[in-house]
């Protein structure tokens, strides 16, 4: 009997410890979000969203160029990674047993684990040394490379989830195989793929390391994709490591903007999953 | 009688039975995009090997054991960075692994059904916070806390140990390790949760039916089955920690020294690339930084390959067991 009680006590303790670990892990999340909201709200204003940075020493100014830059970089990345990722995902799902699909799937998995900074180095060697200047194009390219494997893998997963009966119905009606894939399978899987894309965008929107030596930074508007461009993550980094209080305030405000975008994407992706996609 | 349109049968692997130009083209086009992923990975390895060739030729293996990093005098030794990367990542694992396994076990075994979704989502949000925001938070919240509360406490209770000696700046190895631990916890816990999720239900039921408590069922039936996958999860976390650049650059202190004290500043491979690459003007300096990048690339690729194989093994085991 005593032994039975010990076992129950051990069971209770382990379960309590596991719960404790979960709560402990959420502490930093609460703290980060709390500080970003409280400190960031102070620096956030209309001017912050619409004006260029002021020279050091002058109060005010904003980060409109960094916001524009981040939008531009993410747009370039998305234009590159979404078509390529979706199509390669379709290949991985439709020809999943071929040896080449296995290789490509494996490479995608490995690629999603390599450090983002090495992708920056790669694009530096590929684009920046060739064109001899930093550019939004190079930055967007490196973000696109980071997006590609995750878009491909989520597309694959969701295409595989489409019931076989839908494919059979389409083929039975006389559709050719490729039309069935594009018009039936891909359309059915679209909400899930959209979720994957949103999460991938949320992830690359906050990437800093690969931008340091591809998109670089810019205190002004960048006129074209061939110029160095500012971005929110790089701006947060430069302002946070500076010794000026005013810049720290702006870094918190920029962090608030960035976090809001990322959270919004994550939450809406979550809602779409809850509503439309049956997993 | 006219011929019926040919209907492809055996759709499971979509092999083409009948010649249709559309299908042929479609398959080749999608294959081309899939090839781009393979080519990208190979291209990265190739391009970085090329960029680092000068440094490899100049220093050979001495690059790895050299402790002196002095761009002005063209002396490049990577040991302090390798040391900093390994130590900070291992410390991060020391903190993150028990917590992550706790989370994974709780979420997949113990938590009430309604709590699993929201709690799991919140843990995954930890992974969604951008690295640079962790750096910002670390600089202004974590570092002062470590400096004023944790480090004095550690040095007063175990001050005799060399790990907790020296001045307490806040910025240093400890701060770097803590931020890495926070950042890799969601990786390790979500992969572990996946692994625990594929362990067949019958194993748990068997143990419970024999009178085991919930924890005993996990310990006896689930964990041994999932062991290799859990190890894979740890390796994936390690890979993420090794390659993390921004947050740790902002917190670790960035001094290329090897110190036994966790309070002392350190430097990591990713940090030195982030800090010096845009400022490097000399070819040799650039090549040395690229060589550090190559090392990082090779280490993480190898880790990921091993980790994926381990995680897949559990899935295959489960598939075979149920078939």
Report the pLDDT value the prediction gives residue B137, as an integer from 0 to 100.
97
Count of domains forming chain B: 1
Among 2.90.10.10, 3.40.50.1970, 1.10.10.10, 1.10.3720.10, what is the CATH number of A61-275?
A: 1.10.3720.10
Nearest to B102 among A21, A94, A125 (CB): A21
User: What b/e string do you get for B271-300 counting C-beta neighbours within 10 Å, with b at 16 or more?
Assistant: bbbbbbbeebeeebbbbbbbbbbbbbbebb
Report the pLDDT value the prediction gives residue B267, as an integer from 0 to 100.
94
Provide the pLDDT confidence category of residue A119 given band limits of 50, 70 and 90. very high
Assess whether pLDDT exceeds 80 at residue B17.
no
Provide the pLDDT confidence category of residue A189 given band limits of 50, 70 and 90. very high
Residue B78 C-beta-side C-alpha neighbours within 13 Å? 28
Q: Min CA distance, B29 vs chain A (Å)?
A: 8
Comparison of pLDDT for B316 and A110, the residue scoring more: A110
Comparison of pLDDT for B6 and B79, the residue scoring more: B79
Distant-in-sequence, close-in-space partners of A72: CB < 8 Å, separation ≥ 6? A136, A140, A222, A225, A229
Residue B2 within any structural domain of the chain: no
- Reference B182, options B145, B130, B230, B227; nearest CA is B130
Report the pLDDT value the prediction gives residue B97, as an integer from 0 to 100.
97
Assess whether pLDDT exceeds 60 at residue B99.
yes
CATH code, B285: 1.10.3720.10
CA–CA separation, B43 and B55 (whole Å)? 19
Residue B69 within any structural domain of the chain: no
Residue B127 C-beta-side C-alpha neighbours within 13 Å? 20
Provide the pLDDT confidence category of residue A47 given band limits of 50, 70 and 90. confident
Report the pLDDT value the prediction gives residue B104, as an integer from 0 to 100.
96
pLDDT tens track for B166-201: 888 889 999 999 999 999 999 999 999 999 999 999
- Reference A86, options A211, A199, A186, A201; nearest CA is A186
Query: Angle at the Cα of A48 (from A219 to A202), degrees rounded to 5?
Result: 85
Helix orientation angle between B79-105 and A2-43, rounded to the nearest 10 degrees? 120
Can you tell me the mean pLDDT for A196-220?
A: 91
Nearest to B274 among A101, A117, A202 (CB): A117
CB contact under 8 A, A22 and B102: yes
pLDDT tens track for A70-87: 999 999 999 999 999 999
Other Cβ atoms less than 10 A from the Cβ of A79: the count is: 12
| DSSP annotation of B3 | P
CB contact under 8 A, B245 and A115: yes
Can you tell me the mean pLDDT for B239-256?
A: 93
Assess whether pLDDT exceeds 80 at residue A253.
yes
Residue B13 within any structural domain of the chain: no
Provide the pLDDT confidence category of residue A105 given band limits of 50, 70 and 90. very high
Give chain B's mean pLDDT: 89
Contact A159, A191 (CB under 8 A): no
B46 and chain A in contact, CB less than 8 A: no
B246 and chain A in contact, CB less than 8 A: yes
Report the pLDDT value the prediction gives residue B8, as an integer from 0 to 100.
56
A236 and chain B in contact, CB less than 8 A: yes
Residue B149 within any structural domain of the chain: yes
Assess whether pLDDT exceeds 50 at residue B323.
no
Residue B306 within any structural domain of the chain: yes
Q: Judged by CB atoms within 8 Å, which residues 182-221 of A form the interface with B?
A: 182, 202-203, 205-209, 212-213, 216
Cβ contacts of A263 on chain B, cutoff 8 Å: 125, 128
- Give the DSSP per-residue string, A214-245: TT---SS---STTS----HHHHHHHHHTSS-H
- SS3 category, B266: strand
Nearest to B106 among A19, A114, A118 (CB): A19
CB contact under 8 A, B22 and A145: no
Can you tell me the mean pLDDT for A212-219?
A: 89
Cβ contacts of B130 on chain A, cutoff 8 Å: 205-208, 233, 258-259, 262
Q: Judged by CB atoms within 8 Å, which residues 170-199 of B form the interface with A?
A: 182, 185-186, 189
Chain-centroid distance, C-alpha A216: 19
Q: Is the ipTM of this complex over 0.90?
A: yes
Comparison of pLDDT for B208 and B319, the residue scoring more: B208
A92 and chain B in contact, CB less than 8 A: yes
pLDDT tens track for A1-42: 678 899 999 999 999 999 999 999 999 999 999 999 999 998
Residue B36 within any structural domain of the chain: no
Give chain A's mean pLDDT: 91
Can you tell me the mean pLDDT for B255-262?
A: 88
Can you tell me the mean pLDDT for B86-108?
A: 96
Distant-in-sequence, close-in-space partners of A149: CB < 8 Å, separation ≥ 6? A85, A107, A108, A109, A111, A112, B37
CB contact under 8 A, B11 and A168: yes
Report the pLDDT value the prediction gives residue A201, as an integer from 0 to 100.
95
Assess whether pLDDT exceeds 70 at residue A276.
no
**A&B contacts, CB < 8 Å:** 285
pLDDT tens track for B27-80: 999 999 999 999 999 999 999 899 999 999 988 888 988 888 988 888 899 999
**Tokens of residue A278, six digits:** 């049956």
Nearest to B14 among A116, A177, A236 (CB): A177
B155 and chain A in contact, CB less than 8 A: no
CB contact under 8 A, B307 and A113: yes
**Tokens of residue B206, six digits:** 């068997």
Can you tell me the mean pLDDT for A98-127?
A: 92
CB contact under 8 A, B43 and A181: no
Assess whether pLDDT exceeds 90 at residue A59.
no
H helix runs in B62-172, sequence order: 62-65, 79-105, 113-128, 131-137, 143-145, 151-158
Among chain B residues, CA nearest to A171? B7
Domain borders along chain A are: 61-275
Report the pLDDT value the prediction gives residue B19, as an integer from 0 to 100.
55
CA–CA separation, B234 and B224 (whole Å)? 16
Provide the pLDDT confidence category of residue B10 given band limits of 50, 70 and 90. low
Report the pLDDT value the prediction gives residue B3, as an integer from 0 to 100.
58
Domain carrying residue B204: 80-322
User: Which of A77, A80, A93, A125 to mutate to probe the B interface, most B CBs <10 Å?
Assistant: A125
Query: Which stretch of A222-226, A270-274, B120-124 has the lowest confidence by average pLDDT?
Result: A270-274
CB contact under 8 A, A113 and B239: yes
Q: Terminal CA-to-CA distance of chain B, rounded, Å? A: 46
CA–CA separation, A85 and A239 (whole Å)? 34
- Reference B171, options B260, B94, B100, B267; nearest CA is B267
Query: Which stretch of A54-58, A182-186, B224-228 has the lowest confidence by average pLDDT?
Result: A54-58
Residue B29 within any structural domain of the chain: no
Distant-in-sequence, close-in-space partners of B291: CB < 8 Å, separation ≥ 6? B52, B55, B56, B63, B78
CB contact under 8 A, B107 and A266: no
Q: Min CA distance, B216 vs chain A (Å)?
A: 7
Distant-in-sequence, close-in-space partners of A128: CB < 8 Å, separation ≥ 6? A134, A135, A138, A213, A214
Provide the pLDDT confidence category of residue A208 given band limits of 50, 70 and 90. very high
Provide the pLDDT confidence category of residue B1 given band limits of 50, 70 and 90. very low
H helix runs in chain A, sequence order: 2-43, 46-50, 64-94, 99-111, 116-123, 129-131, 136-161, 164-172, 177-179, 186-205, 232-240, 245-275
């Amino acid at each position: 009997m005593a032994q039975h009680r010990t076992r129950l006590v051990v069971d209770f303790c382990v379960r309590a410890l596991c719960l404790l670990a979960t709560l402990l892990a959420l502490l930093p999340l609460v703290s980060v979000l709390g500080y970003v909201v409280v400190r960031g709200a102070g620096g956030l204003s209309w001017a912050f969203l619409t004006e260029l940075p002021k020279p050091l020493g002058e109060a005010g100014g904003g980060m409109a160029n960094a916001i524009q830059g981040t939008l531009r970089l993410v747009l370039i990345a998305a234009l590159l990674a979404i078509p390529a990722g979706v199509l390669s995902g379709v290949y991985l799902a439709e020809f999943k047993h071929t040896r080449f699909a296995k290789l490509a799937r494996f490479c995608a998995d490995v690629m999603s684990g390599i450090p983002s900074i090495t992708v920056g180095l790669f694009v530096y060697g590929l684009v920046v040394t060739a064109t001899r200047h930093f550019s939004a194009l190079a930055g967007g390219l490196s973000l696109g490379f980071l997006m590609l494997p995750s878009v491909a893998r989520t597309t694959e997963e969701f295409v595989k989830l489409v019931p076989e009966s839908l494919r059979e119905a389409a083929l039975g009606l006389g559709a050719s195989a490729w039309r069935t894939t594009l018009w039936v399978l891909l359309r059915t899987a679209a909400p899930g793929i959209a979720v994957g894309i949103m999460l991938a965008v949320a992830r690359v929107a906050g990437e800093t390391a690969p931008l340091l030596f591809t998109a670089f930074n810019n205190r002004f508007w960048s006129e074209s994709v061939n110029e160095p461009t500012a971005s929110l993550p790089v701006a947060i980094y430069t302002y946070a490591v500076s010794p000026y209080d005013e810049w720290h305030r702006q870094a918190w405000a920029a962090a608030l903007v960035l976090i809001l975008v990322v959270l919004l994407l994550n939450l809406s992706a979550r809602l779409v999953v809850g509503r439309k996609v049956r997993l | 009688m006219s011929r019926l349109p040919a209907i492809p049968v055996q759709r499971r692997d979509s092999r083409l039975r009948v010649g249709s130009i559309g299908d042929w083209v479609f398959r080749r086009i999608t294959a081309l995009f899939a090839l781009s992923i393979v080519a990208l990975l190979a291209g990265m390895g190739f391009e970085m090997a090329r960029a680092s060739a000068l440094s490899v030729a100049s220093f050979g293996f001495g690059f790895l054991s050299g402790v002196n990093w002095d761009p002005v005098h063209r002396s490049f030794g990577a040991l302090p960075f390798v040391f900093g990367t390994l130590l900070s990542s291992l410390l991060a694992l020391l903190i993150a692994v028990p917590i992550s396994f706790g989370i994974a076990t709780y979420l997949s075994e113990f938590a009430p059904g309604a709590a699993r979704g929201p709690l799991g989502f919140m843990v995954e949000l930890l992974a969604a916070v951008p690295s640079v925001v962790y750096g910002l938070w670390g600089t202004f919240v974590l570092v002062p806390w470590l400096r004023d509360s944790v480090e004095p406490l550690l040095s007063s209770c175990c001050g005799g140990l060399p790990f907790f000696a020296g001045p307490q700046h806040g910025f240093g190895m400890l701060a770097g390790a803590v931020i890495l631990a926070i950042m890799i916890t969601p990786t390790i816990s979500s992969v572990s949760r996946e692994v625990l999720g594929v362990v067949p239900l019958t194993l748990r039921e068997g143990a419970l039916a024999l009178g085991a408590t919930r924890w005993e069922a996990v310990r006896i039936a689930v964990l041994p089955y999932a062991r290799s996958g859990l190890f894979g999860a740890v390796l994936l976390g390690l890979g993420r920690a090794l390659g993390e650049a921004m947050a740790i650059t902002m917190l670790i202190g960035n001094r290329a020294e090897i110190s036994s004290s966790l309070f002392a500043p350190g430097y990591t491979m990713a940090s030195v690339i982030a800090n010096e690459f845009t400022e490097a003007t000399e070819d040799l300096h650039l090549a040395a930084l690229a060589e550090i990048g190559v090392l990082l690339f090779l280490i993480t690729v190898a880790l990921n390959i091993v980790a994926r194989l381990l995680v897949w093994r559990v899935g295959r085991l489960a598939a075979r067991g149920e078939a």
